[in-house]
Amino acid sequence: MSNYYSNLGPDFKKRTIKLPSIPAYQYNNSLSDEYKTKKVSKAELLEVYESMLVIREFEEMILKLRTGAYEIISDYEYRGPTHLSIGQEATATGACSMLGIKDLITSTHRGHGDSIAKGFHAIRRMNDDELHTRCSELSTLQGEELREAVMEDHVFRTIAELFGKESGYGKGRGGGMHIADFRVGHLGANAIVGGGVPIATGAGMICRTDEERKGNVVCCFAGDGAYANGVVLESLNWASQDQFTGEIARTKFGMPVIYCIVNNHFGMTGRADGEVNGVDYLARRGAGFDNENMHAEVVNGMDVMAVRDAIQRARETIAKGQGPVLLELDTYRYYGHSLSDPRNEYRTREEEARWKEVDPVVVFRQQLLDAKVVSQKEIAKIEELVAARNARAARRAADSADPDPVDVIKYMYTDSVCDEVPEKYQKAEIYEPLPVIKRNAEGLVTYRDAIKEGLIEEMARDKRVILFGEDVADYGNAFKLSKGMLESFGRDRVFNTPISEACICGAAVGMAMSGYRPVAELMYMDFALMASDQISNQAAKWHYMTGASTKVPLVIRCSVGGGKGYGGQHSQSLESMFAHIPGTYVAYPSNPYDAKGLIKTAVRDDNPVIFVEGQLLYNVKGFVPEEEYLVPFGEANIVREGSDVTFVVWGPAVADAVKAADLLAEEGISVEIIDPRTLVPFDWDTVFASVRKTGRCVAISQCVDIGSFTGEIVSQITANCFDYLDAPVIKVGAKNGIAPQAYTLEAAFLPTPQDMINAAKTLL
């Protein structure tokens, strides 16, 4: 540990804490010198130039499309986003030209260039077999003819996604702001400012520990505006944790992430310099998270060779186990935030002219000629090749098929699960004997231990399953649910996190998209609101936005504290909110048997799952078989059969519904109780069958009544069972207010068995 409190008592001696200096603009070589000394070959230099040219050609095509000046498709009406990165080509090409095929990137809404560059340089490094795997329809081609055909396909699929076409990288579902290509390690561009930074951080966690990923790095592109964003700063803090390299680390290797601040000096129209920032260089941000400033450096982002040099040195730092690295790439965008932004209200022509004097494409072209790397004729040939390739790809994309409206929500969920663990992940290291879950003579286990046993079994079964959250390691989580798991599985698989709910969930997304199966814990469900962007805009959407090119198999465990007197910020039952987010599953077990079976199903499912746990249920005991079993999603449990009225109820309210049914039975009223177990997917068939039998229904939960999922139950029953109803369907829930702390008020706030009895009698 670097902190001076480590292994010592307090030391309050007067001192001055000095910060290391931050180097800036360190690259002072010339292209000519590097070429003459053979540090870089002609082939490499031409590859770099072509890469920047492909980006520039693509971006200028978008610009021309708006006015119909791109002649090859002047008949095509383009309606997509227009966030151009003209001027920033050196950042994308410089970084991606130093990455391997298996290295990863995340990008931004202005990320066409990053995507093009990552694919371009990956294709350059592929052999024929890899190229054929990427484009199987080109099986008759070989060598450079094959490579050029695959390159054109890359440009075509990029344009097709921009145009919202079925043949695009995301089948037109994500569009240009969400473009991804997982075959070459591109985990996606992100329309949420800073949204990709925690994803990159999570991917870095996998590259840090996974045997097959070791040696790979994650290059995270985000703009200057992102580096005032909360989850971005949380991510830098996460990546710099001492526990990765300090005394308690089992794998003493820093985070292999290169955070690239693409500082083009404007957020949208707001100027970063002298307006919305309080520092002269954003590289200073690193000083807040790491004693070495995260090896921060300011780099000339208009010079592709300077960017390449910085990335190479960053890789060397990471290879020594000293990552992460923070690079500020000082660059410029020549156009406004989008083409609707004329930019004349917040910058001058003189400013733009000065930046255009160091245009990365134009200057590099002249350097190639001055160094006699290439002739005018050769360079013209490259330029003609790029323009013609883009034109053919654009025409083909414009003519290609639009997605079928019938498939508007296709790819919302995947129906796949992890039935079989890949062999390389079957042998999980167990450092100490697994915790033993105690059963009483009747085989009863607490709800808490049922979840714990399910997690232990899944972690022992599959090395990709990891558990993390606040206080889950040594302490065993706030409710002692994970006690002993750290000792058994090690800190690489069970570890504490900073108090950073957004980064906890965002990192889980990155891990899941990189092939692992994370279980992230949020201590209270209320805190999911801190992470709602990462849950709702990231975890929920990537499978759909990439046209099923990726899966996001993660579990977010969050407990509901209602009924314990914890007040308005620790008591909310928010499962209805996440049931409203397409792309996520929502499970809420009401008893120990379901708790174990559902957590195991959640871990194996390939969709993101919000797994809700009732804190009042943690000590409730129930029968839990020792042999393995799963509880399927979307299959309700008929808790008790009845004939007069149906209760549809979940979570802790199930026990109250049973009490109410017992009292109603004394009056001759027969209640059928259905626990859906999962709100998404929901077992409508079982509910409809029950209501058609009883003719009456009460939908019950501990959610605040207004906006509760109980309203959806009322709507669906009314629509599908209207002819069978003998009375309106009604709801019972918490009061439409904020959970109070006072015992008397909370007792009045939450629904009671008597409330359920009164509702049933109203129908009868």
pLDDT of residue 4: 44
Domain boundary among 366, 401, 436: 401
Q: Tell which residue, 562, 568, 557, has the closest CA to residue 535.
A: 557
Query: Is omega for the bond preceding 403 within 30 degrees of 0, making it cis?
Result: no
- From 109, 178, 295, 570, active-site residue: 570
- pLDDT band, very low/low/confident/very high, at 270 (cuts 50, 70, 90): confident
Contact 168, 162 (CB under 8 A): yes
Contact 515, 206 (CB under 8 A): yes
Quote the number of domains for the chain. Answer: 3
pLDDT of residue 81: 77
- From 89, 501, 521, 575, active-site residue: 501
- pLDDT band, very low/low/confident/very high, at 6 (cuts 50, 70, 90): low
Q: What average pLDDT does the chain have?
A: 95
Strands 444-446 and 621-623 come out as antiparallel
Share of the chain above pLDDT 90, in %: 92
Residue 3 has pLDDT above 60, yes or no: no
Residues 381 and 456 in one domain: no
Q: Tell which residue, 559, 459, 584, has the closest CA to residue 518.
A: 459
pLDDT digits (tens, 9 = 90+) for 249-258: 989 999 999 9
Residue 239 has pLDDT above 50, yes or no: yes
Residue with token string 């590097």: 34
pLDDT digits (tens, 9 = 90+) for 182-198: 999 999 999 999 999 99
Residues 458 and 362 in one domain: no
Q: Decide if 16 is inside a domain.
A: no
Residues 391 and 454 in one domain: no
Residue 573: CB partners within 8 Å, gap ≥ 6? 525, 560, 562, 612, 651, 701, 702, 703, 704, 734
Task: Report the 10 Å Cβ neighbour count for 567.
Answer: 15
Domain boundary among 623, 649, 682: 623
CA distance 286 to 37: 34
Q: Decide if 189 is inside a domain.
A: yes
Residue 1 has pLDDT above 50, yes or no: no
Per-residue pLDDT averaged across 47-61, rounded? Answer: 97
CA distance 140 to 156: 20
CA distance 474 to 715: 47
Q: Decide if 26 is inside a domain.
A: no
CA distance 388 to 393: 9
CA distance 88 to 113: 8
Residues 50 and 120 in one domain: yes
Q: Decide if 96 is inside a domain.
A: yes
Per-residue pLDDT averaged across 199-203, rounded? Answer: 98
CA of residue 145 relative to chain centroid, distance? 37
Residues 365 and 462 in one domain: no
Q: Tell which residue, 649, 497, 505, 482, has the closest CA to residue 573.
A: 649
CATH number at residue 676: 3.40.50.920
- pLDDT band, very low/low/confident/very high, at 5 (cuts 50, 70, 90): very low
Clarify whether 59 is annotated catalytic. Answer: no
Take residue 437 and report the two structure tokens written for it: 């879950």
Clarify whether 570 is annotated catalytic. Answer: yes
pLDDT digits (tens, 9 = 90+) for 130-177: 999 999 999 999 999 999 999 999 999 999 999 999 999 999 999 999
* Residue 537 domain boundaries: 423-623
pLDDT digits (tens, 9 = 90+) for 422-438: 999 999 999 999 999 99
- pLDDT band, very low/low/confident/very high, at 271 (cuts 50, 70, 90): confident
Residues 452 and 357 in one domain: no
Domain boundary among 623, 653, 675: 623
CATH number at residue 535: 3.40.50.970
Take residue 566 and report the two structure tokens written for it: 């914890």
Residue predicted with more confidence, 345 or 604: 604
Share of the chain above pLDDT 70, in %: 99
Q: Tell which residue, 257, 278, 247, has the closest CA to residue 206.
A: 257
Residues 611 and 682 in one domain: no
Mapped onto helix, strand or coil, the DSSP state of residue 395 is: helix
Residues 592 and 698 in one domain: no
Residue 2 has pLDDT above 60, yes or no: no
Per-residue pLDDT averaged across 480-500, rounded? Answer: 96
Contact 645, 764 (CB under 8 A): yes
Per-residue pLDDT averaged across 405-434, rounded? Answer: 96
pLDDT digits (tens, 9 = 90+) for 611-624: 999 999 999 999 99
Q: Decide if 18 is inside a domain.
A: no
- pLDDT band, very low/low/confident/very high, at 548 (cuts 50, 70, 90): very high
Residue 687 has pLDDT above 90, yes or no: yes
